[in-house]
Amino acid sequence: MIAVLVLVVVSVNACKTSPIGTTPASPSAGRSPAYPASGVLVLYDITGQYGDLGELYAVQAGNLASHFGSWEALPVTKYTSGTAKKYQLTIYIGSTYDEPLPPAFLADVAAGAPVLWLGANIWQLISRYPGIGFQNATVADDGVTEIRYRGTSLTRNRAAGALVRLAASPGVEAATLADAVDAAGGVTPWALRVGRLTYVAEVPFTYVSFDDRYLALADLLFDLLAPATPPRHRALVRIEDVGPHSNPAQLRAIADYLSSRKVPFAVAVFPVYDDAAGIYSGGVPVHKTLQAAPEVVSALRYMTAHGGTLLMHGYTHGFAGAPNPYGVSAEDYEFYRAHVDASSGSVVLDGPIPGDSAEWALSRLESARSEWAAAGLTPPDIWEFPHYTASATDYRAISSASGIRARFEQVLYFSGILSGTPRGARSVSQYFPYVVKDAYGTPVIPETLGNVATQRFNQHGVRLVPDLLTSARRQLVVRDNVAAFFYHPFLGLEYLPRLVEGLQELGYTFVAAPSVLDP
């Protein structure tokens, strides 16, 4: 039973169309640096073979909570009586079967502290306080692949394993907030509320997709932390992997189309392009800077004049001296080592760059800024890590760098960031359906839809306009969400109009990326 209840986090080792997971790096016990003390307390499990997963789940929950205010994280075993009373909400993440829960915590839940309980160990509360309003907690794997929430069918990967079946006690006033649908069509509560205790039948941070039940959790936090929030659905588009090699005519055509639709947009730019082996130039090595590409610089100015916001997408989007893993800017990682698995063709993350340090990461930032300035462009204050991947050290360094206002990305997190004592090399990635102040210390602008991909590349499958629109439709279930995608300019205008206009037809309003940072 332990094996089926402990959810497995999949390490993300691919570029930009990742599943999910998370982790913070903050100055004190998991508190988001964005806010003063108060807000949300996140309690997590730490025992057993997969104890480090509890910390990763806590970071994910804390990141979501940061949208509403402050958060702190604490192993549940360290809980002391009355602590929950200091917070607007306590989130307990039950990831380890039969984690020994302190009687003081159970007593405070029973006394009416506002609590969101995810996953295991609810039976300890029921056993100690049989009048709590819940009964018959059992663990079952019924092949649930659908969660129905607020009229929307959300997906659930079968690999996420078992759920906790739970019912309200007879005569108790309870609200079923979401239902789990099993393989036979049977329906059981997935989210249930009795009094001030809201229960979710799993920890929904594993095997997450853009269409996932994770979205239900993200929206439930509005009920618990900001119930008066009115519906609002905004969209962002980011033109991706623009560099000195880009086709200026394609950039101008994209700007013309988006401007004609009155759609603001972002442009992710790296200022130095390298193809040391001449893979795309007949064997002739290529090294090119923005300064040496005046037509590209002119196109970038044209884009900003037509509603574009430039952002910084690394320095070279690659690794000097060796393929990482392909040997070409825009295809390679810059802040992490990677290789291609010979048998599967999948990209595998290997670890930090040799000599990785905060100083090294900041030197990349400063080199990039110098290249922007040399080209006559103002260095942007919004950053995107190439392939959404860096070491924890690099995330911290860039996030704390002077002049960096925000990041625009999905984010990679590592075990041990809350505790400061890594227990393994586990890493996970998280996307956000709204702006958060993440554990690394900066606001994160969401990217929630991925990109149009017309053919399979390493472990990334084909993803076409209808796929992105289906995800965007499901993401409307989050009452105040930001749906964002990125688009490669080499695709021209074959897919962009259908995607932009499809999002508008769904009710989304396109806005400029910096605007979502405002309250």
Give one DSSP letter per residue of 59-114, joined into a string.
Answer: HHHHHHHTTTS-EEEEEGGG--TTGGGGSSEEEEEE-STT----HHHHHHHHTT--
pLDDT band at 408 (very low <50, low <70, confident <90, very high): very high
> pLDDT at residue 78 above 70?
yes
Domain map of the chain by residue range? 2-225, 232-409+447-517
Q: What is the DSSP string of 318-346?
A: S-TTS-SSSSBTTTS-SBSEEEE-TTT--
pLDDT of residue 422: 61
**Average pLDDT of every residue of the chain:** 92
pLDDT tens-digit profile of 473-498? Answer: 999 999 999 999 999 999 999 999 99
For the chain, what percent of residues have pLDDT higher than 70? Answer: 92
pLDDT band at 49 (very low <50, low <70, confident <90, very high): confident
Mean predicted confidence (pLDDT) in 145-164: 98
> pLDDT at residue 21 above 80?
no
> pLDDT at residue 1 above 80?
no
Q: What is the DSSP string of 101-156?
A: --HHHHHHHHTT--EEEEES-HHHHHHH-TTSSEEEEEEE-----EEEETTEEEE-
Of 462, 461, 437, 431, give the one whose Cα is nearest residue 449: 431
Work out the number of other CB atoms within 10 angstroms of the CB of residue 455: 7
pLDDT of residue 105: 99
For CA atoms 107, 111, 116, 118, the dihedral sign is positive
- Tokens 């509320």 belong to which residue? 193
pLDDT of residue 27: 27
Give, rounded to a whole angstrom, the gap between the first and last alpha carbons of the chain: 44
> pLDDT at residue 22 above 60?
no
Mean predicted confidence (pLDDT) in 59-74: 97
pLDDT tens-digit profile of 306-350? Answer: 999 999 999 999 998 789 999 999 999 999 999 999 999 999 999
Q: Lowest mean pLDDT: which of 1-5, 201-205, 357-361? A: 1-5
Model confidence, pTM: 0.92
pLDDT of residue 423: 57
pLDDT tens-digit profile of 218-257? Answer: 999 999 999 999 999 999 999 999 999 999 999 999 999 9
> pLDDT at residue 150 above 50?
yes
Mean predicted confidence (pLDDT) in 280-308: 98
> pLDDT at residue 55 above 80?
yes
2-225 classified as CATH 3.40.50.2300: no
pLDDT of residue 419: 81
DSSP 212: B
pLDDT of residue 459: 78
> pLDDT at residue 157 above 60?
yes
Q: Lowest mean pLDDT: which of 30-34, 50-54, 330-334, 402-406? A: 30-34
Determine the Cα–Cα distance for residues 258 and 209; give it in Å rounded to an integer: 28
Look at 421 and 287; give whichever has higher pLDDT.
287
> pLDDT at residue 414 above 70?
yes
> pLDDT at residue 261 above 90?
yes
| Count of all residues that appear for the chain in the document | 519
Determine the Cα–Cα distance for residues 440 and 53; give it in Å rounded to an integer: 18
CB 212 within 8 A of CB 67: no
Q: Which long-range contacts (CB under 8 A, 24 or more apart) does 180-189 make?
A: 180/142, 180/144, 180/146, 180/147, 180/156, 181/144, 181/145, 181/146, 181/147, 181/148, 182/142, 182/143, 182/144, 183/142, 183/143, 183/144, 183/145, 184/142, 186/142, 187/148, 188/142, 188/163
User: Using DSSP, how many helices (H) and how many strands (E) does the chain show?
Assistant: 11, 26
Determine the Cα–Cα distance for residues 356 and 134; give it in Å rounded to an integer: 50
pLDDT of residue 420: 81
Which class does domain 232-409+447-517 fall in? alpha beta
pLDDT tens-digit profile of 435-462? Answer: 999 999 999 999 999 999 998 877 788 9
> pLDDT at residue 184 above 70?
yes
pLDDT of residue 3: 27
pLDDT of residue 4: 30
